Chains A and B, each alone.
Chain A
């Protein structure tokens, strides 16, 4: 159960941060949301998801608390910290710059 080859590490971080930026959610929902929003292209394996969440939590980009789900079950909800939001914005800018640059190289005609 390695990481999916199409998800390099920094990208997964960005996906997670961006996803929970809307509202706090638990791990399962994060995975579902990413899959759903990417039109089933990005499937985040739990083998990558949970270590990533724990790492981000240790870095204090995100924080976790236990809440009730809509089905009245207790789950660990992750939300962005202030520092995390700043970090996300920086990463986002980086990502835009990088993907734009890659786009220029890969499809120079456009």
Chain B
């Protein structure tokens, strides 16, 4: 009861204020009347009695005030008053307000969005039971950052059978497969998972059962919630139905709950199949039993009661025999050297497994530094603006203190103003963050490699933002407020506005820090913009403009090998006839995004070094392979240096031939002509030796940095590893994607339900530059923001000091000072401060340069060019910002200035 009554009293005081006031007056008036009555009874005349009663009663207003104080709602009422006052004040200076709000929105918004991304990608735990017990087994090379997280199936079996400290060891592999048949076919993402996958992850299905021991019965599927909703319209009867995947009927046995995406952060598989289905879906696959096919991640769940240290020690004990028994070997039986050098490590997988994490860690770290710097600059800037305002309002405060306002009360009012700014700024910042987080995810996704992240501003992110806001409020609200109140009153009141001790040392040091941070950001922008530029200028070895890539999947059931070959031949002929098409070809791989097929080839006359020939891994010694149709090099714009292109002579039963790139020719045939030489595939492919018929120029296959790789091309008709899923390549006259519908029409004239996906080669190349583009764009954006904020800050300080010194400047001019000397007088300080800031900034750049080494290309982060560019731009902007008010000072009319004094 009591809390309710108390609340009722507060609410009454807040919302029925008038009535409460009237009642208070009536109550006190009653008392006075009773007092008067008493005095009349004692014999005084009514007038006398009333006068005496009033005198005795004392200050009515003061008593009312004391009673009001007891209501405990005073602070709310005052807060509302202060808020109204603050709104009016801010509305009166729209320039200050918009700069302040913009700084805050950018500072807080940028921090929130980057932190949201960090939280989603790195920190958030998997939505499974006891995610803390999950660990990934990886191999690390001592002294190197990146870890080997992929192993062969035999390695997986080794750990599953031998690692007693884990209750479960599981693995999975992802692939795209076509789903459905007839009219409705689509590409979906499938995770092929080992038996222990679901119990190991600790995930239970929402419907039906998860996968268990499916070694004998691999034709079962578990659906993701999203695909169940899309494909089966959330029908609970889907369990037990049959769905055709890759042309094979699978029985649906379960549906996973919403939000479950497996173990890989950033992926969103549509179905989960037993790993045994891999051989069914792709008969040529070599995942199993092949120690060289290292592509499976290993994740394990700790046995209850086993500590992480014990498990780690256990893995370390097993490690040497694992390498000995299951490590990748060449044909002579030598272990791969880099694999042998790996040391074991357990990595927590409570937040999932992600290659995105490794890929974006560097950029995210840099962006973190950038956004924190921007936030600091924004706060410094705000602090400076508030300092200047507080100095301007010193007289107002002095006056209010003099008429009896409490210091605490004034402090509270200033805090209210800061709070209002921070609140509105935060609201804007959160809006900004929501928008940019989505933008960031879109930017990180490439055409091939869609990233699906469940971006949501959750409590941690909100807490982070709120924390920043409180810090911001304190930082820029309290310091100026304290400063304004600490100064003594009398001189202020006596001397008027223009002689106030300025916001001197504090704002000057703030400015130095701001310049230093700005230099850091501008230098970062320079470095990342130039990295991006340099990468764009890299010689690709092909011309990515005007190339359309169409992924066509003929499916396995209706299209046997010869039929598929005929299909591609006919399709190529029809597409060639389309208007706007210059050349058409077909290949199994495309550069950059749909790469790579690595092997080590036997070269007649070349004896390999021990351990050199380990296929499957992207080692620099391995050769990039591709099966191509005639005309591939014409479509790609890759120059043929010697020899001939493939043609109809290179039939399945004809002489086996190959085309090699310059790097391959130079490595294996340094002194002789490569044409006519014989090379052959590893014996497990069971194809005969091939004669080299041409040498083509080097091209980039996977990334734009690093050394040029070796490459060998086969005629598609003789492809040693037949893959029915091929890419159709078209060199177009106009924008490539404009031809998409015409191409689709042609494909559908063969098979109306065949799924076709389009992308342009230019998109693919851009995709590999995601990080660089992101860093370049964001660092440039924030560099400009930093410059703008810095310029505004400097302009504000100089303009303020000019206003303060108008009298002094007037006297100087009157005494004969030249305009130039006045200009210098005003600028001198700015030049000094900016130089100091630049020096500190340079030191910071030097200190941070090591952490961005892997992110830059062709630029020295702390090089002369970077620092002079950044320093030059910054000085130019800063001096302009100082020069504008200085020029005004030099133009002061001494007569006016002195009269003003």
Q: Using CB atoms and an 8 Å cutoff, list the residues of chain A in contact with chain B.
A: 1, 26-28, 46-47, 50-51, 54-55, 57-60, 63, 66, 73-76, 81-83
Contact = CB atoms under 8 A, between A and B. Distances in A.
B58 A60 contact: no
Interface in B44-79: 57-59, 62-63, 66-67, 69-72
B673 interface: no
Nearest 5 pairs of A and B residues by beta carbon: A54-B70, A60-B5, A55-B70, A28-B34, A83-B2
B647 interface: no
A59 B31 CA distance: 23
A108 B70 CA distance: 40
B27 A1 contact: no
Contacts of B537: none
Contacts of B35: 28
Contact of B72 (A27, A47, A58, A74): A58
Interface string B149-165: 00000000000000000
A76 B26 contact: yes
Contact of B63 (A47, A57, A63): A47
A104 B609 CA distance: 104
Nearest to A73: B30
A47 B66 contact: yes
A81 B285 CA distance: 84
Given A51-B63, A73-B30, A83-B2, 20 more contacts: A1-B59, A27-B30, A27-B31, A28-B35, A46-B31, A46-B57, A46-B58, A50-B27, A50-B31, A50-B67, A51-B67, A58-B72, A60-B1, A60-B6, A66-B23, A75-B27, A75-B30, A81-B2, A81-B5, A82-B1
Contacts of B581: none
Contacts of B67: 50-51, 54
11 contacts: A1-B63, A26-B27, A50-B31, A50-B63, A50-B66, A51-B69, A58-B6, A60-B9, A66-B23, A76-B23, A83-B1
B31 A58 contact: no
A82 B2 CA distance: 9
B28 interface: yes
Contacts of B30: 26-28, 73-76
B59 A60 contact: no
B6 A59 contact: yes
Contacts of A75: 27, 30
B1 A50 contact: no
A51 B5 contact: no
Contact of B58 (A1, A54, A59): A1
Interface string B3-31: 00110011000000000000100111011
A18 B283 CA distance: 96
Contacts of A28: 30-31, 34-35
A50 B28 contact: yes
A28 B57 CA distance: 12
B9 A47 contact: no
Nearest to A48: B66
Contacts of B63: 1, 46-47, 50-51
Contacts of A58: 6, 9-10, 70-72
Nearest to A61: B2
Contacts of B1: 60, 81-83
B58 A57 contact: no
B58 A76 contact: no
Name the residue in B27, B33, B35 with the highest tally of chain A Cβ atoms < 10 Å from its Cβ: B27
Q: For A26, A50, A59, which residue has the most chain B Cβ atoms within 10 angstroms?
A: A50
A54 B71 contact: yes
B324 to A, nearest CB: 80
Contacts of A76: 23, 26-27, 30
Nearest to B28: A50
B73 to A, nearest CB: 9
B358 to A, nearest CB: 61
A75 B23 CA distance: 10
Contacts of B31: 27-28, 46, 50
Contacts of B10: 58
Nearest to A57: B9
A54 B65 CA distance: 11
A75 B32 CA distance: 12
A73 B70 CA distance: 26
Contacts of B66: 47, 50-51
A61 to B, nearest CB: 8
Nearest to B73: A58
Contacts of B59: 1
Nearest to A63: B5
A5 to B, nearest CB: 17
Contacts of B6: 58-60
A59 to B, nearest CB: 7
A1 B2 CA distance: 32
Contacts of A57: 9
A68 to B, nearest CB: 12
B8 to A, nearest CB: 9
Nearest to B7: A60
A76 B33 CA distance: 14
B9 A27 contact: no
A76 to B, nearest CB: 5
Contacts of A73: 30, 33
Nearest to A66: B23
Interface string B110-148: 000000000000000000000000000000000000000
A66 B27 CA distance: 10
Interface in B515-545: none
A101 B33 CA distance: 42
Contacts of A47: 58, 63, 66
Nearest to B9: A58
A83 B23 CA distance: 24
A50 B23 CA distance: 13
A84 to B, nearest CB: 9
Nearest to B66: A51
A50 B28 CA distance: 8
A73 B32 CA distance: 13
A12 to B, nearest CB: 13
Contacts of B58: 1, 46-47
Contacts of A59: 6
Contacts of B27: 26-27, 50, 75-76
Contacts of B28: 46, 50
A55 B5 CA distance: 13
B666 to A, nearest CB: 91
B697 to A, nearest CB: 88
A76 B25 CA distance: 11
Contacts of A27: 27, 30-31
Interface centre among A27, A58, A63 (most CB of B within 10 A): A58
Name the residue in B9, B35, B67, B70 with the highest tally of chain A Cβ atoms < 10 Å from its Cβ.
B70
A26 B26 CA distance: 12
A54 B57 CA distance: 17
